[in-house]
Amino acid sequence: MSRYMDVSMPIRNGMLIWPTDPPVEVRVFKSPDKGDRSTVSAVAMGTHTGTHIDAPRHFLPEAEGIESLTPEVLIGRCTVLDVRGRGNVGPEHLRPALEAGATRILLRTGTIEKQMEEGFSKEFPGVTAEGARAMIEAGVRLVGIDTMSVETYHAPGAPTHHALLGARIVVIENLLLASVPAGDYDLIALPLLIAGADGAPARVLLRTLDG
């Protein structure tokens, strides 16, 4: 019987964020303790907080916002690749999945859970410019990763982001994949509909295919 796996990072005060991003603040705004009818909280965060999706506009100022990403790409069959301990992700890591026709690829590098425990580090693997090109040529529509960025830290010119977003490939970052074995799943990745935004926090689920 198929089951859902939640691969989204919980949003909370003090969570791991990109060092130069807006701080996350979640606080109680209304509550019965204050004489209100109900409890309502206020949330402040960046558009790239937690598990989130990049819009083309994130690196291409004239390009589309998050509303341009269609359900037909955000939902569907995906392949999780286990690339732990293999460094940056290039064509050689991707080739088997690309040859099998994968159009949505999630990369499990084993990075994010360590940073959630130990704090941000600039040392994390990313997709190389060559890896990005291989995915574009193969017709990939979506790529996700369990690091804070699909690209190595401050790669000069950000070629991976420019290539992927320029090709209108959906990029998901900060996925929690520690419990997800390599293989095929059905992906549901829904970003908040923040009008015109450069990205948005998202809830992302995988459904197993068995049964």
Q: Which residues are catalytic?
A: 58
Out of 61, 85, 119, 211, name the contact with its own copies by CB under 8 A: 61
CA distance 68 to 55: 8
Q: Provide φ and ψ at 203, rounded to 5°.
A: -105, 130
Is the CB of 34 or the CB of 85 nearer to its own copies? 34
Task: Please answer whether residues 51 and 201 qualify as being in contact, where contact means their C-beta atoms are separated by less than 8 angstroms.
Answer: yes
CA distance 149 to 159: 12
SS3 (DSSP) at 170? strand
Site stretch for its own copies (CB under 8 A), options 58-66, 81-89, 127-135, 177-185: 58-66
Q: How many residues form the binding site for its own copies (CB under 8 A)? A: 57
Establish if 44 lies at the interface with its own copies (CB under 8 A).
yes
- The residues pairing with 191 across neighbouring beta strands, listed in sequence order, are 202
Is the CB of 93 or the CB of 141 nearer to its own copies? 141
- Cα separation values, 93 from 81, 107, 167, Å: 8, 10, 20
Establish if 136 lies at the interface with its own copies (CB under 8 A).
no
Is the CB of 47 or the CB of 94 nearer to its own copies? 47
| Closest-CA residue to 65 (of 73, 75, 74, 54) | 54
Rounded (10°) angle between helices 159-166 and 129-138: 10
E strand or H helix at 72, and its extent?
A: helix 71-74
Establish if 130 lies at the interface with its own copies (CB under 8 A).
no
Is the CB of 17 or the CB of 89 nearer to its own copies? 17
Out of 4, 137, 181, 209, name the contact with its own copies by CB under 8 A: 4
Residue type, 75: I
Out of 20, 35, 99, 211, name the contact with its own copies by CB under 8 A: 20
Out of 161, 163, 169, 175, name the contact with its own copies by CB under 8 A: 161
**Under rule CB under 8 A, which residues in 68-97 are in contact with its own copies?**
70-72, 75
Establish if 50 lies at the interface with its own copies (CB under 8 A).
yes
Cα 190 from chain centre: 11
- Residues near its own copies, by CB under 8 A: 4, 6, 8-12, 20-22, 26, 29-32, 37-48, 50-51, 57-59, 61, 67, 70-72, 75, 154, 158, 161, 188, 190-199, 201-203, 205, 207
